[in-house]
Amino acid sequence: MSDIILLGPPGAGKGTQARRLVEERGLVQLSTGDMLREARSSGTEMGRRVAEVMDRGNLVTDDIVIGLIEERLAASKAAGFIFDGFPRTLAQADALGALLKRAGRHLDAVIEMRVDDEALVRRITGRFTCGNCGEVYHDLTRPTARPGICDACGSTDLRRRADDNEESLRTRLLEYYKNTAPLIGYYYALGKLRPVDGLDGVDAVAAAIAAILDAPPAAGKGPLDATAETH
């Protein structure tokens, strides 16, 4: 069973591409951001603490997010998972490697979505989503066909995220460069890293990802072949 990771800064387009991969390839999306947003609306003490951390733009602790992924992996026998927004730290990456190995699964590719910071600010500050079906829109680049109505499901419950403002985004970017960007080197060393130009349009990015997923497995496994076998 083969899985992929979508790796990139906030607003790189991970959620947008994950939804397409679910529709087009029947993969199962595991978004820790979505799971944490569910947890925050649970009304529990844990949910309240998670909400505070997310709204500031900081990372939720490793034990919480690893626990969420562990539960989902144990509950599903999907042919392929898309990890969207996970892992985000080296500890999470190590934990994922161990979980996949224990489940007899195989990490196919880590798609690194490259987008510059200016584009990220434009994307994040213009984003809104459907509260009913999760479809992702943008004020300028992907507005709904009829104002205030979701194209996909007809709902009028269109929302903006509490952390989609310039101040939280600054913190989210700092967290990304400090904790998540080191994963680029980590997965490169394992021979899994596949960069795509995330500045391209949504269709072009989807085509680049499809080409990676449809390519025959590379002959060499990467600079650290022996280690790659364990992930």
Residues in touch with ligand AP5 (CB under 6 A) = 8, 10-16, 32-33, 36, 53-54, 57-60, 65, 85-86, 88, 92, 123, 126-127, 136-138, 141-142, 163, 172, 200-202, 205
Residue 221 among the catalytic residues = no
Tell me how far, at minimum, the Cβ of 76 lies from ligand AP5, in Å: 18
Place of tokens 């996949």: 100
In 100-200 the beta strands, taken as DSSP E runs, fall at 106-114, 127-130, 136-138, 158-159, 193-197
Pairing of strands 127-130, 193-197: unpaired
> Token pair 């309240």 is at which residue?
48
> Residue 97: in which H helix or E strand, if any?
helix 90-102
CB of 11 to ligand AP5, least distance (A): 4
35 SS3 class = helix
Q: State the nearest-atom distance from the C-beta of 141 to ligand AP5, in Å.
A: 4
Q: What span, in angstroms and rounded, lies between the C-alpha atoms of 56 and 171?
A: 7
Nearest one of 1, 67, 10 to 28, comparing CA atoms: 1
Residue 146 annotated as catalytic: no
Active-site position among 19, 40, 127, 194: 127
Catalytic one among 14, 123, 192, 194? 14
Kindly tell me which of 62 and 108 has the beta carbon lying closer to ligand AP5: 62
Active-site entry in 19, 40, 88, 123: 88
Residue 127 bears catalytic tag: yes
Write down the least CB distance from residue 45 to ligand AP5, Å.
17
Which of 163/191 has CB closer to ligand AP5? Answer: 163
Cis peptide bond N-terminal to 143, omega within 30: no
DSSP type of residue 146 = B
Nearer to ligand AP5, 95 or 190 (CB): 95
Annotated catalytic residue, options 19, 172, 192, 194:
172
Chain position whose Cβ is nearest to ligand AP5: 33
Taking the least distance from each CB to ligand AP5, the nearer of 37 and 221 is 37
Q: Of 31, 30, 32, 48, give the one whose Cα is nearest residue 40.
A: 48
Catalytic residues: 14, 88, 127, 161, 172
